[in-house]
Amino acid sequence: MFPLFLACAFTSAEEPPVLRDVHFPDLSPNASQIAFGFQGDIWVAGVEDGLARRLTVSEAYEERPRFSPDGTQIAFVSDRYGNADVFVMPATGGVIRRVTYHSASDVLADWSPDGTKLLLSVAGRDHPHTAPYEIELEGGYIRPLLLDTCSISITGYSPDARFITGIRRGAAWWRKAYKGSANSQVMVYDTQADTMAVVTNFEGMDNWPVFVRDGSRICFVSERNGRPNVFSMNPDGSDVKPLTDFERDAVTFLTASADGKWLVFEWNFDLWMLRSDGGTPRKITLRAPMDYRRTFETEETLKAGIEEMEVNRDASLAAIRLKDDIFLVRPEFKNDSIRVTDWPGPDGDYFWSPDGKQLAYISQMNGNSDIWVLNPETMEKRCLVDDPQFYLDMLGYTRDGGKILFRHDVGGDGIFAANPETGEVSQFLPDPDIEDLALSPDGRWLLAQIDDGGRARTCTSSRWTAGSGST
């Protein structure tokens, strides 16, 4: 059992605090307001003043708000009855009406242009794969639009409601740089002709397509230039043009205003607007004079839920991850622990040095996933490798403890080594074809999966003289 003390910082009453790490943005039809999810509730804010107010207050998790075409209603997803269902409420807040009742989880995509129907993606209702459905708001009649041999995740209607767009297949969107048989492709379905066309053939990730400019273009997110950015194309997949060129992090959850003139998306923990015909992205700064749901400090006794555990070599100390924070436990502590990290974001993926005098771990405190080290005796922790361009994937210490090996999340540029004391980084192995690899517990061996010209995969192990880096 491990007691947790959770603290929240007070904010000056003169200026409402800035909201960060908000999700699932959607613009009102004229792009004057934005709806979004924050702390499991639905909020709205003016785009110009950014002052947000909460519309839902249930203990359930609520997400994916969508403005109706006339801007008077907001549809959203909530698990207040156990699984994800769709609900509708006035855009100003008020009485909430349940729309779907099936035990399958419903993912809201869009309103029909006339405001009488909702577009959903559902898995397990009538089909083993995710498929698009359309439900009438009056009467609740629901019908499948397209049943395919692969999953179809739908994202929106064309302005005349004849076409719908979405993605076919698709690995998890957070799986960076994936290229393979499950890569997502943008599709367009003609509801009148009952035909589907796959309009992109990029071998990596394409996602979140939306019709813009009276249906004459489709904007979407793609990794085709490296990092996930916004692109525009004709509905048949031709004339692809980049609209953003972010060099780090990833654009996610792209949506468009009902008039097709504005895009909104998540990037770097903030929400951004962009004209659908291009231009400079604009950050939307959101503030809210809010109260917190819980008291500023709570104590919990946890008997389960350990996410990660590593014991040092002499078993005198164990590092445990609970709720994305790191705790230290000694045998003499019995049911007590020392909390190492306490910021709101995730920490973990850690390794003990061979002598047990240092714990290296990954933290996103500075934005990207960087390497931090902790001295368990003094409890001093510091950022060892701060890389603003890449998320870092740590492999562990070498046998002598003189290096911490890691690589960049994008891969393709080999393995790097950091000095555990100075943080000095050098390239350890330059092989650009290494895909997956693991370090043995004793720090003597690397097991690597190597791309052999794109036709085969070869597993091999590499051994080096302690501290020399020679293979």
**pLDDT digit string (tens) for 22-48?**
999 999 999 999 999 998 999 999 999
Q: Which residues have CB under 8 Å from 181's CB, separation 6+?
A: 169
Is the model's pLDDT at 133 over the cut of 70?
yes
Q: Which residues have CB under 8 Å from 354's CB, separation 6+?
A: 313, 397, 399, 400, 401, 443
pLDDT-derived band at 11 (thresholds 50, 70, 90) equals very low
pLDDT at 465: 37
pLDDT at 413: 75
Residue 270 burial (CB count, 10 A) = 17
**Contact between residue 162 and residue 188 where contact means Cβ atoms under 8 Å apart:** no
User: How far apart are alpha carbons 124 and 258 in whole angstroms?
Assistant: 30
pLDDT at 458: 41
pLDDT-derived band at 369 (thresholds 50, 70, 90) equals confident
Residue 437 burial (CB count, 10 A) = 22
**Contact between residue 106 and residue 89 where contact means Cβ atoms under 8 Å apart:** no
pLDDT-derived band at 13 (thresholds 50, 70, 90) equals low
Q: Where are the domains of the chain?
A: 15-284, 304-463
pLDDT at 1: 45
% of the chain beyond a pLDDT of 90: 55
Give mean pLDDT, residues 319-338. 82
pLDDT at 432: 61
Report the chain's mean pLDDT, rounded to a whole number: 86
| Position with higher pLDDT, 43 vs 3 | 43
Give mean pLDDT, residues 50-58. 93
Measured at the CA of 413, the angle between CA 224 and CA 387, to 5 degrees, comes to 85
pLDDT at 470: 44
Give mean pLDDT, residues 428-434. 72
| Position with higher pLDDT, 29 vs 11 | 29
Q: Right CATH number for 15-284 from 3.30.40.10, 3.40.50.150, 1.10.240.10, 2.120.10.60? A: 2.120.10.60
pLDDT-derived band at 289 (thresholds 50, 70, 90) equals confident
Pairing of strands 206-212, 195-198: unpaired
Is the model's pLDDT at 334 over the cut of 80?
no
pLDDT at 362: 92
Q: Please, what sign has the CA dihedral across residues 63, 67, 68, 72?
A: positive
Amino acid occupying residue 4: L
pLDDT at 447: 77
SS3 215: helix
Give mean pLDDT, residues 295-302. 71
Residue 234 burial (CB count, 10 A) = 13
User: Does 15-284 match 304-463 in CATH topology?
Assistant: yes
pLDDT at 461: 46
CATH homologous superfamily of domain 304-463? TolB, C-terminal domain (2.120.10.30)
pLDDT-derived band at 452 (thresholds 50, 70, 90) equals low
